[in-house]
């Protein structure tokens, strides 16, 4: 169900996240909406940890989104609380039919949502029936009687179970099934729900293990808010249970003729939602104070393996937004590639030795980006992606390869420049002017193309076919070079270095043209 939702609303999800501002209330709203859409607070918080790691969100912004995500995840419990068992199997049949036979990809994604919806309620029905025989087990009853007497043990059990199954929604479903069968009462279920709110924070903290300090702080903030909320709610557990019983229709202790307790699930769902709404209202006024406190607790980064990109496997839990993050990293790679060409020009035309070292460093960086991006794309390719995103995935591979090749060609320019400098070769002033001219066109072409890619803008044919102008300059300057050689204006060795630079610039034009075409027709 979550995968279908992500594929159906993936583009909208990206736009929602892009609208995020420093306003804490808008951030909380965004966290709530995104989690409602993808039906997983763990996925949202892992995504937020990734954005903080990438420097796209501040810690304060991230904390407000996380508080909102805690509310968004309670919608799953509200859905489960409806008794829709009769609609479960028809939904499974209709959803499966849409997935298998629909021609429209959008309809297929909706089919996945309907199929997941049906399986959710059919699974709850099977779970409830499966737990029914445990009503006769004295040992099982004694275990939960201990939980009822000592709520903190129920909190620990809820947290532990959620850590094991890696889904608070699944644990909430189990809690509802236990309560519906009368194995636990409402107060005990409420304590288990509190524990589940702590357990769900572990996923983000695991995701942040290899991330930056700010990402670790965001993940710890999720744990901090939920653990602090559970601490004060444990003290107020009896009044809170009384309040939910008062405002929710039906008696949670009412037993139907079939031996089940039909109203308790709604009480559990309302307690879950109310707790997280109260937690948001309690902490959001002090979010800056909380950020400062967390900043002091998580002080330094542990030694970790150097990485060029800020991509992490944990981001794969939300494939559509992971792809958006890949595009951002590719934008950074494109900026490095452009700077590599600029420094290569300065090294050749202005004989700047330090720029030769910079080009070598940037070329190695582009190699590192390609390795990490390809590795991440291989993992992302195994995830559930929309057809549009799969096409985008292949386009990103092509663009990544071309950017890395641009770095290689810049390195060849530097090698030619080193020969000129080390062997004290003389390039004529006319040749030097020609290099300035062709470098200018290549740099302008690359700058325009990379800007179009980063902003998602389509280039005009006139912009794309600047590559023809580069080819024309290449041919013209080679002819001029032969004339200079015949006249003895330029030495043979200097001439060979000049041609090597021209060849490399022409290749950079070809790779930039490939990026422009891929970007326009992806």
User: Average pLDDT, stretch 130-147?
Assistant: 70
Give the per-residue pLDDT at 308: 80
Taking 60 as the threshold, does the pLDDT of residue 14 lie above it?
Answer: no
User: Average pLDDT, stretch 359-373?
Assistant: 92
Give the per-residue pLDDT at 239: 94
Give the per-residue pLDDT at 304: 53
The fold adopted by the segment(s) 313-520 is Methane Monooxygenase Hydroxylase; Chain G, domain 1 (1.20.58)
Q: Kindly report the CA angle at 11 between 98 and 39, in degrees rounded to 5?
A: 65
DSSP for residue 340:
H
Give the per-residue pLDDT at 98: 92
User: Average pLDDT, stretch 237-253?
Assistant: 93
User: Average pLDDT, stretch 395-409?
Assistant: 94
Question: Per residue in 180-195, pLDDT tens?
Answer: 888 888 999 999 999 9
Taking 80 as the threshold, does the pLDDT of residue 500 lie above it?
Answer: yes
**In this structure, are residues 508 and 341 in contact, taking their beta carbons and an 8 Å threshold?**
yes
User: Average pLDDT, stretch 277-293?
Assistant: 91
Q: Kindly report the CA angle at 17 between 366 and 224, in degrees rounded to 5?
A: 95
Give the per-residue pLDDT at 337: 94
Which H or E run includes 168? helix 168-180
Residue (of 200, 282, 278) closest to 35 by Cα position: 200
**Residue ranges of the chain that CATH labels 1.20.58.220:** 313-520
User: Average pLDDT, stretch 142-147?
Assistant: 71
Residue (of 518, 506, 514, 501) closest to 359 by Cα position: 501
User: Average pLDDT, stretch 254-270?
Assistant: 90
User: Average pLDDT, stretch 213-242?
Assistant: 90
User: What secondary structure does DSSP assign to 36-92, as a single string?
Assistant: HHHT-HHHHHHHHHHHHHTTSS-HHHHHHHHHHHHHHTHHHHHHHTS--HHHHHHHH
Give the per-residue pLDDT at 412: 92
Distance of CA 363 to CAs 115, 310, 356, 375, 471, Å?
48, 18, 11, 19, 24
Question: Per residue in 328-346, pLDDT tens?
Answer: 889 899 999 999 999 999 8
d(CA 351, CA 347): 5
pLDDT category of residue 198 using cuts at 50, 70 and 90: very high
User: Average pLDDT, stretch 123-127?
Assistant: 80
Give the per-residue pLDDT at 61: 83
Give the per-residue pLDDT at 31: 84
Contacts of 437 (CB under 8 A, 6+ apart): 473
pLDDT category of residue 2 using cuts at 50, 70 and 90: low
Mean pLDDT score across all residues of the chain: 83
Of 493 and 381, more confident = 381
Taking 60 as the threshold, does the pLDDT of residue 256 lie above it?
Answer: yes
Contacts of 419 (CB under 8 A, 6+ apart): 425, 493, 497
Residues 517, 518, 521, 522: what is their CA dihedral angle, to the nearest 10 degrees? -170
User: Average pLDDT, stretch 139-160?
Assistant: 80
pTM of the model: 0.66
Distance of CA 124 to CAs 119, 318, 437, Å?
8, 25, 70
User: Average pLDDT, stretch 127-131?
Assistant: 76
Q: Residue 4: left (phi > 0), alpha (psi -120 to 50), or beta?
A: alpha
Give the per-residue pLDDT at 300: 58
Give the per-residue pLDDT at 10: 58
Give the per-residue pLDDT at 510: 94
């Amino acid at each position: 169900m979550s995968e279908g939702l992500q594929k159906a609303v993936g583009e909208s999800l990206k736009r929602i996240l892009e609208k995020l501002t420093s306003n804490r209330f808008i951030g909380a709203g965004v966290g709530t909406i995104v989690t409602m859409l993808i039906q997983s607070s763990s996925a949202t918080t892992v995504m937020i940890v990734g954005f903080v790691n990438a420097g796209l969100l501040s810690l304060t912004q991230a904390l407000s989104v996380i508080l909102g995500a805690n509310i968004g995840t309670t919608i799953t419990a509200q859905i489960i609380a409806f008794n829709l068992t009769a609609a479960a199997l028809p939904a499974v049949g209709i959803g499966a039919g849409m997935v298998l036979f629909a021609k429209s990809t959008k309809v297929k994604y909706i089919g996945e949502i309907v199929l997941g919806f049906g399986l959710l309620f059919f699974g709850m029905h099977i779970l409830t029936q499966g737990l029914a025989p445990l009503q006769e087990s004295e040992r099982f009853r004694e275990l939960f009687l201990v939980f009822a007497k000592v709520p903190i043990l129920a909190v620990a059990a809820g947290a532990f179970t959620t850590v094991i199954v890696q889904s608070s929604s699944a644990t909430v479903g189990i809690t509802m099934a236990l309560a519906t069968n009368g194995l636990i009462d409402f107060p005990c279920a409420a304590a288990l729900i509190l524990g589940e709110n702590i357990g769900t924070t572990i996923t983000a903290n695991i995701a942040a293990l290899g991330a930056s300090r700010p990402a670790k702080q965001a993940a710890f903030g999720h744990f901090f808010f939920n653990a602090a909320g559970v601490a004060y709610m444990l003290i107020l557990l009896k009044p809170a249970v009384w309040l939910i019983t008062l405002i929710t229709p039906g008696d949670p202790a009412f037993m139907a003729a079939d031996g089940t307790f039909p109203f308790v699930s709604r009480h559990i769902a309302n307690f879950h939602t109310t707790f997280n709404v109260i937690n948001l209202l309690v902490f959001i006024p002090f979010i800056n104070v909380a950020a400062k406190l967390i900043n002091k607790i998580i002080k330094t980064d542990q030694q970790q393996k150097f990485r060029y990109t800020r991509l992490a496997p944990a981001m794969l839990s939300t494939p559509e937004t992971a792809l958006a993050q890949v595009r951002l990293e590719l934008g950074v790679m494109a900026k490095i590639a452009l700077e590599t060409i600029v420094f290569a020009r300065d090294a050749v035309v202005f004989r700047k030795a330090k720029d030769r070292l910079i080009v070598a460093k940037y070329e190695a960086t582009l190699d590192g980006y390609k390795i990490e991006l390809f590795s991440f794309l291989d993992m992302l390719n195994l995830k559930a992606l929309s057809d549009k995103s799969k096409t985008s995935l292949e386009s990103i591979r092509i663009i990544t390869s071309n950017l890395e090749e641009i770095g290689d060609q810049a390195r060849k320019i530097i090698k030619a420049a080193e020969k000129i400098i080390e062997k004290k070769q003389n390039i004529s002033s006319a040749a030097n002017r020609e290099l300035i001219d062709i470098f200018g066109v290549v740099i302008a072409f690359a700058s325009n193309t990379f800007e179009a890619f980063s902003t998602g803008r389509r280039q005009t044919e006139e912009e794309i076919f600047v590559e023809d102008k580069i080819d024309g300059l290449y041919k013209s300057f080679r002819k001029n070079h032969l004339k200079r050689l015949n006249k003895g204006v330029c030495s043979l060795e200097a001439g060979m270095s000049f041609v090597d630079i021209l060849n490399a610039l022409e290749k950079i034009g070809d790779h930039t043209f490939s990026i422009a075409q891929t970007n326009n027709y992806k």
